[in-house]
């Protein structure tokens, strides 16, 4: 699959994820919603491997990759689902907008990816744009700090998992990585649900179960396969920039689908984010231009 198409696919799916998570936890406990998503996702990913006749590597390196990615996925999503009960999806998106900075720090420390000054400037401009967009939308409740802590913890765990997966999972196919990670995550979340909750969500409606199915099939199997594909092909910090784009696209989808008002602050923040992305990607474009120039000679 072309890298650009995979990138757009992850942007689209992640743009709809926050709303789907809110719908799922509105009808059941966050552990039940998460365990349902991961279990169904692991089943669908395994069936997809069988249909495509793709092997699931079980060598030591592959098992290490599944364990790292699965633990990162389950712990990150548990924090995110927990926090989603206390804050809006917009605020959760803002918190995950910090992911490029966190990822860059981990990538610099663990795999030697050194971001330049221009890349740092681009990420900071993007974060400033996110602040402009959501500054009028942060209506915090008395328990909002739990949501903020959950979002920040999920952010850190996701960034660390992405870097470690890139470091240890270079030889594992993306779909196999997603399947193995989902299997590990399903076991972890089912155990957590059984020990800490154990109640079947009898009050959940079709809307809530539909959100779980969507997150399992599209949000987990498809998006995570594309996500690991991007991790293998692109610098980690560039993959993490998706979390700067998706809050904006989610906002515009809400405007189109729900008639939400788009203010001047939203337009200014969107422009600032686009400019920040241009600044961040400038070194990569220069590399491509130089390579094309050499090939033309």
Q: Where are the domains of the chain?
A: 3-116+139-239
Task: Copy the structure tokens of residue 7.
Answer: 């990138």
Looking at residue 142, its pLDDT comes to 66
Across the range 123-144, mean pLDDT stands at 68
Looking at residue 275, its pLDDT comes to 77
Q: Which long-range contacts (CB under 8 A, 24 or more apart) does 17-20 make?
A: 17/215, 17/219, 17/223, 17/246, 18/84, 18/89, 18/90, 18/92, 18/93, 18/250, 19/89, 19/250, 19/254, 20/211, 20/214, 20/215, 20/219
Express each pLDDT in 38-64 by its tens digit: 999 999 989 989 998 888 888 888 888
**In whole angstroms, what is the distance from residue 288 CA to residue 70 CA?**
34
Task: Copy the structure tokens of residue 56.
Answer: 């699931």
In this predicted structure, the answer to whether residue 139 has a pLDDT above a threshold of 50 is: no
Express each pLDDT in 200-247 by its tens digit: 888 888 888 998 999 998 887 888 778 778 877 777 666 767 766 777
Percentage of residues of the chain with pLDDT beyond 90 = 15
Express each pLDDT in 143-192 by its tens digit: 777 887 888 888 889 888 878 877 776 577 878 888 898 999 999 999 99
Q: Which long-range contacts (CB under 8 A, 24 or more apart) does 190-194 make?
A: 190/35, 190/38, 190/39, 192/31, 192/35, 192/74, 192/78, 193/29, 193/31, 193/32, 193/34, 193/35
Looking at residue 229, its pLDDT comes to 81
**In whole angstroms, what is the distance from residue 192 CA to residue 129 CA?**
37
Residue showing tokens 């923040």: 269
Q: For the whole model, what pTM was predicted?
A: 0.76
- 130, 136, 141, 146: CA torsion to nearest 10: 10
**In whole angstroms, what is the distance from residue 168 CA to residue 161 CA?**
10
Q: Do residues 272 and 129 touch, judged by C-beta distance below 8 A?
A: yes
Residue showing tokens 């990759």: 65
With 0-12 / 13-18 / 19 or more C-beta atoms within 10 angstroms meaning exposed / middle / buried, residue 71 is middle
| Mean model confidence pLDDT for the chain | 79
- Of 186 and 6, which is predicted with more confidence? 186
Express each pLDDT in 11-28 by its tens digit: 888 888 877 888 888 888
């Amino acid at each position: 699959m072309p890298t650009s198409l995979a990138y757009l696919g992850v942007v689209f799916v992640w743009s709809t994820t926050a709303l789907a998570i809110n719908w799922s936890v509105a009808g059941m406990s966050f552990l039940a919603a998460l365990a349902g998503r991961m279990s169904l996702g692991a089943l669908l990913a395994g069936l997809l491997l069988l249909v495509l006749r793709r092997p699931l590597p079980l060598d030591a390196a592959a098992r290490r990759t599944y364990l790292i990615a699965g633990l990162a996925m389950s712990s990150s999503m548990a924090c995110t689902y927990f926090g989603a009960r206390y804050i809006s999806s917009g605020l959760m998106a803002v918190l995950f907008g910090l992911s490029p900075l966190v990822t860059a720090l981990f990538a610099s420390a663990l795999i030697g990816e050194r971001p330049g000054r221009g890349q740092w400037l681009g990420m900071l401009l993007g974060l400033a744009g996110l602040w402009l967009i959501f500054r009028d939308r942060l209506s915090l409740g008395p328990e909002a700090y739990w949501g903020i802590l959950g979002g920040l913890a999920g952010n850190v765990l996701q960034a660390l998992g992405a870097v470690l997966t890139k470091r240890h999972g270079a030889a594992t196919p993306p779909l196999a990585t997603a399947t193995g990670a989902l299997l590990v995550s399903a076991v972890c979340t089912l155990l957590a649900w059984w020990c800490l909750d154990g109640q079947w969500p009898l009050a959940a409606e079709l809307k809530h179960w539909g959100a779980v199915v969507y997150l399992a099939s599209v949000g987990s199997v498809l998006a995570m396969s594309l996500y690991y594909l991007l991790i293998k092909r692109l610098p980690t910090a560039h993959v993490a920039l998706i979390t700067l784009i998706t809050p904006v696209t989610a906002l515009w989808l809400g405007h189109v689908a729900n008639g939400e008002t788009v203010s001047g602050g939203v337009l200014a923040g969107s422009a600032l984010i686009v400019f920040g992305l241009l600044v961040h990607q400038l070194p990569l474009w220069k590399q491509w231009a130089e390579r094309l120039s050499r090939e033309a000679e």
